[in-house]
Chain A
Amino acid sequence: MSYWVKKGLKTGVVSTRYPKQEETASGITPGLPQITDNINSDDLISVCPTRAIHKTDEKLLLESSLCIHCYRCSRDTKEPLSWSEGFEWASFEKNSTPFSSTFGHSLHICVVDSGDCGACLNETKLLNSPLYNMHRLGFFITPSPRKADVLLVVGAVTQQMKGALLKAYEAMPTPKKVMAVGTCALSGGVFEGGFIAENGVSSILPVDITVPGCPPPPLAILHGLLSLAGRKNIKRGTK
């Protein structure tokens, strides 16, 4: 008993200071491929298996919601793409807004796994670990959708999970928001063509905010939650 009190005091605070301060520790994020100007495009487009790298109006773009982090663009090409180290990837879907300030301080989150590979869920779980500690920001995982403000969905929505996911959404009180986490939840990812919903969660539920990545690191998910609570200003989606 006395041991852990002593140990606790000795260890001090290990949680990240994000969002008040920037988090710079190494290894917190896998990063995303970064398109820079004057890069040889044809090679890249042909090497990317998911059309994440594509051309619109002669401009080379990266659609992060399709990227499955297969590293081919940095391994199998003559001019490898460099990867950015950031993690603030969340973006609102068109016409979606954060919670109003009345509801936006503390959020209760119901996590539903609708067919992920386990990695996205693993990263979500880490939000409760002392290093990320989302409780300090007023975010809590609820055991039941009936008390939840946010439905956090990971994974490609399988045929067999569709019904359960829909029921969970319907059980939530309003105002409610849906957050899709991970490439699978956004577009199907590597399971595209399998027994899953075609466009990820958005084909079943109205998605408000998306966090790309395969899997997105805990801080990216935290960034999404902060944005949803209206406590972080982020870019708007164009979709």
Chain B
Amino acid sequence: MKEIFDSIHYFCDEFSEDGNFVTIKTKQLKSLSLYLFRDLDCDLSSVVALRAKDGFNIKYLYSYPKKDYFFIVCQNIQDEFESFADDIPALNWFEREISDLFGIIPLNHPDFRALPLHPENYPIGFHPMQNDKIKDENYGTYEYKDVKSEGVYTVPVGPIHAGVIEPGHFRFAMSGEPILQLEIRHFWKHRGIEKLCEGKEVDEVLNISQKISGDNALSHALSFAMAIEKICDIKVPSFAQYCRVIAAELERISCNLSDFAGVFQDAGYSFGASGITALKEDIMRLMKLLSGNRFFKDFVIIGGVSKNIKPYTKEIIDIIKQVNITFDKYKKIMENSSSILERLETTGKIKKQTVKDLSCVGFTASASGRFSDFRKTHPYLIYSKLDFETLVLSDGDVSARVRVKLNDIKNSFKIIKICTNYISQVDKPKLKVKYEIKDGEEFGYAQSNRGNIVHFVKIEDKKVVRFKPRDPSFMNWQSIQFAVLGDVIGDFPLVNKSLNLSYAGNDL
């Protein structure tokens, strides 16, 4: 790392190291950002804007995949800043989001349209995070990038879909059968979570954080809790850490199973889908037994966990064993069925370069040849002590994503086994520690089944003054626009399912 730090020193005015976080202040923002993103091959993990004394402060968080390091690049600005979205496409949505919420303008942005706040619904001058008066009360319209040419027609879908699906708008430009272009428009579910959390108590925000993306309730709570624990120097007892890992892996199994079922369903194989959903229900019932809630809500609390799961070790082991056996059977069915595999292979291809450009995370990246799993690259809790094999595939198609997920389920079974072994041997389980809220700001992160979740929290006077959650779906949504190119529209549900993107987490 020394060489890397030396070369960073070359760019920067201020440099400070705190654990695995390196904070850099520089005047040569662009060269440094490009050095991190291109030369060091970092992923863009989050961008946070904050109101400062005069003007605003923007923090770019880059994660270094080869070693457990994060780089925070800061800049202070007035009411505009230079956009790098042309060079770092992953910044595109972040900059537009900041522009909508704070009213600060990214100069030379390649696609400067409104993002989270639809101009049809909110006045153009409405910037909730700015706390200023609304200057422009008019409403606007949204320009779609429709393809206009002879023989090309547009198929608009949504926001309300057929079936039980979250709302989002998709516009396909079709030329005959193949899809020429897909444009997505989201944020229909924008509930204003960032604004809502300003000035709230830590406990309240912990509760809200679990409702960012309901099926990842635990992972979101975990990354929020870990941010707070870092700020307040809370040492979580090791028993609680093991409990947290068991819970996180159960949640991962539950979500991955539901994906697996979805792939069966959309490939037209409902027998498989039924069987797998039944397994998912088994896991959810186990989750209820352990925590009182079918989604592990309020299991993670600041300083530990809320319930002792030790008395249920036997149930966990039994159910996981059962689920594992049945799961293997269905996995075999899939692997031996040429009709299913044919649907999955070469469908919805995402190139490695796309994944890199957009800083995609989780299985989307891993299936396209770019490994992404914070449990390995930036281990938290006790993950560094656990031994499991992650999978990286280069195909980038639906089949590759499914295989990565199936491997993930297998890993989770293994991890749970190790952890239950540990907790059954602990004599005096310590669930939580007492703590006091201190002021400060930190990033917290956890790996959900979809990819890494990164939360930024700032506390002042024991209240949360800024909370910026970044759901993995926010990084991955744009990749679907590339995945469907050249496919037929009938494959879209399958591709969509294989990417398993959360609308709620994306929209905030």
Binding site for B on A (CB under 8 A): 3-4, 7-8, 14, 25-31, 49, 68-72, 75, 83, 111-126, 128-131, 141-145, 155-156, 158-164, 168, 189-191, 193-196, 214-215, 217
Q: Which of these, A14, A69, A113, A124, contacts B189 with CB under 8 Å?
A: A113
Q: Which of these, A26, A83, A164, contacts B167 with CB under 8 Å?
A: A164
- The CA-CA distance from A130 to B193 in the complex, in Å, is 35
Q: Count the B residues whose beta carbon is within 8 Å of the partner chain — how many? A: 60
- The chain B residue with its CB closest to the CB of A4 is B271
- The CA-CA distance from A72 to B306 in the complex, in Å, is 11
Given A117-B504, A118-B213, A121-B164: A30 and B277 interface contact (C-beta under 8 Å): no
Given A119-B214, A161-B159, A217-B294: A114 and B204 interface contact (C-beta under 8 Å): no
Shortest distance in angstroms between B341's beta carbon and chain A's nearest beta carbon?
Answer: 16
The answer on a CB contact under 8 Å between B213 and A30 is: no
Q: Which of B211, B275, B281, B284 has the most CB of A within 10 A?
A: B211
Q: Which residues of B contact A75 (CB under 8 A)?
A: 298, 306
B160 at the interface (CB under 8 A from A): yes
The answer on a CB contact under 8 Å between A117 and B292 is: no
- The CA-CA distance from A239 to B159 in the complex, in Å, is 32
Q: Which of A4, A31, A122 has the most CB of B within 10 A?
A: A122
Q: Which residues of A contact B230 (CB under 8 A)?
A: none
Shortest distance in angstroms between B247's beta carbon and chain A's nearest beta carbon?
Answer: 15
- The CA-CA distance from A114 to B187 in the complex, in Å, is 11
Q: Which residues of B contact A196 (CB under 8 A)?
A: 191-192
Q: Which of A75, A119, A161 has the most CB of B within 10 A?
A: A119
Q: Which residues of B contact A191 (CB under 8 A)?
A: 191-193, 196, 208, 211
Binding site for A on B (CB under 8 A): 118, 120-122, 128, 159-160, 162-167, 187-193, 195-196, 203-204, 207-208, 210-217, 258, 271, 274-275, 277-278, 280-281, 284-289, 292-295, 297-298, 306, 333, 502-505
The answer on a CB contact under 8 Å between B285 and A115 is: no
- The CA-CA distance from A65 to B502 in the complex, in Å, is 26
The answer on a CB contact under 8 Å between A8 and B278 is: no
- Would you list the 10 A-B pairs with minimal beta carbon distance, nearest first? A27-B285, A119-B214, A143-B162, A118-B214, A195-B192, A129-B277, A117-B214, A27-B288, A117-B211, A194-B192
The answer on a CB contact under 8 Å between A14 and B278 is: yes
The answer on a CB contact under 8 Å between B118 and A160 is: yes
Shortest distance in angstroms between B204's beta carbon and chain A's nearest beta carbon?
Answer: 6
The answer on a CB contact under 8 Å between B281 and A83 is: no
Q: Which of A30, A49, A156 has the most CB of B within 10 A?
A: A30
Q: Which residues of A contact B163 (CB under 8 A)?
A: 111, 141, 143
Q: Which of these, A27, A68, A118, A164, contacts B286 with CB under 8 Å?
A: A27
The answer on a CB contact under 8 Å between A129 and B189 is: no
Q: Which of B191, B210, B216 has the most CB of A within 10 A?
A: B191
Shortest distance in angstroms between A121's beta carbon and chain B's nearest beta carbon?
Answer: 6
- The chain A residue with its CB closest to the CB of B118 is A160
- The CA-CA distance from A115 to B507 in the complex, in Å, is 9
- The chain A residue with its CB closest to the CB of B285 is A27
The answer on a CB contact under 8 Å between A195 and B191 is: yes
Q: Which residues of A contact B215 (CB under 8 A)?
A: 118-119, 122
Q: Which residues of A contact B214 (CB under 8 A)?
A: 116-122, 215
- The CA-CA distance from A164 to B157 in the complex, in Å, is 12
Q: Which residues of B contact A112 (CB under 8 A)?
A: 160, 167
The answer on a CB contact under 8 Å between B162 and A144 is: yes
Q: Which residues of A contact B207 (CB under 8 A)?
A: 49, 68, 70, 190
Q: Which residues of A contact B159 (CB under 8 A)?
A: 161, 164
Q: Which of these, A125, A145, A156, contacts B191 with CB under 8 Å?
A: A156
The answer on a CB contact under 8 Å between A164 and B277 is: no
Q: Which residues of B contact A194 (CB under 8 A)?
A: 191-193, 195-196
The answer on a CB contact under 8 Å between A113 and B294 is: no
- The CA-CA distance from A83 to B293 in the complex, in Å, is 11
- The chain B residue with its CB closest to the CB of A75 is B306
The answer on a CB contact under 8 Å between A160 and B187 is: yes
Q: Which of these, B217, B294, B502, contacts A27 with CB under 8 Å?
A: B294
The answer on a CB contact under 8 Å between A83 and B164 is: no
The answer on a CB contact under 8 Å between B162 and A115 is: no
Shortest distance in angstroms between A40's beta carbon and chain B's nearest beta carbon?
Answer: 21
- The CA-CA distance from A9 to B193 in the complex, in Å, is 48
Q: Which of these, A69, A115, A126, contacts B277 with CB under 8 Å?
A: A126
Q: Which of these, B208, B275, B289, contacts A190 with CB under 8 Å?
A: B208
Shortest distance in angstroms between A43's beta carbon and chain B's nearest beta carbon?
Answer: 16
Q: Which of these, A7, A30, A160, contacts B188 with CB under 8 Å?
A: A160
Q: Which residues of B contact A111 (CB under 8 A)?
A: 163-164
The answer on a CB contact under 8 Å between A158 and B188 is: yes
The answer on a CB contact under 8 Å between A158 and B211 is: no
The answer on a CB contact under 8 Å between A118 and B502 is: yes
- The CA-CA distance from A195 to B306 in the complex, in Å, is 31
Shortest distance in angstroms between B206's beta carbon and chain A's nearest beta carbon?
Answer: 9
Q: Which of these, A3, A130, A142, A215, contacts B295 with CB under 8 Å?
A: A215
- The chain A residue with its CB closest to the CB of B286 is A27
The answer on a CB contact under 8 Å between A114 and B196 is: no
Given A8-B271, A118-B502, A158-B190: A124 and B306 interface contact (C-beta under 8 Å): no
Shortest distance in angstroms between A160's beta carbon and chain B's nearest beta carbon?
Answer: 5
Given A117-B211, A190-B208, A194-B191: A130 and B167 interface contact (C-beta under 8 Å): no
Q: Which residues of A contact B211 (CB under 8 A)?
A: 117, 119, 189-191
The answer on a CB contact under 8 Å between B166 and A130 is: no
Sample of 18 further A-B pairs with CB below 8 A, known A4-B333, A130-B275: A26-B285, A27-B294, A49-B204, A75-B298, A113-B167, A115-B504, A116-B504, A119-B297, A120-B214, A122-B295, A141-B164, A155-B189, A161-B167, A162-B121, A164-B167, A194-B191, A194-B192, A215-B294
- The CA-CA distance from A4 to B334 in the complex, in Å, is 12
The answer on a CB contact under 8 Å between B274 and A129 is: yes
Shortest distance in angstroms between A136's beta carbon and chain B's nearest beta carbon?
Answer: 13
The answer on a CB contact under 8 Å between A27 and B284 is: yes
Shortest distance in angstroms between A144's beta carbon and chain B's nearest beta carbon?
Answer: 6
Q: Which residues of A contact B192 (CB under 8 A)?
A: 191, 194-196
Shortest distance in angstroms between B474's beta carbon and chain A's nearest beta carbon?
Answer: 14
Shortest distance in angstroms between A186's beta carbon and chain B's nearest beta carbon?
Answer: 15
- The CA-CA distance from A191 to B214 in the complex, in Å, is 13
Q: Which residues of B contact A14 (CB under 8 A)?
A: 278
Q: Which residues of B contact A145 (CB under 8 A)?
A: 160
Q: Which residues of A contact B280 (CB under 8 A)?
A: 129
- The CA-CA distance from A4 to B39 in the complex, in Å, is 52
Q: Which of these, B122, B167, B216, B292, contacts A159 with CB under 8 Å?
A: B122
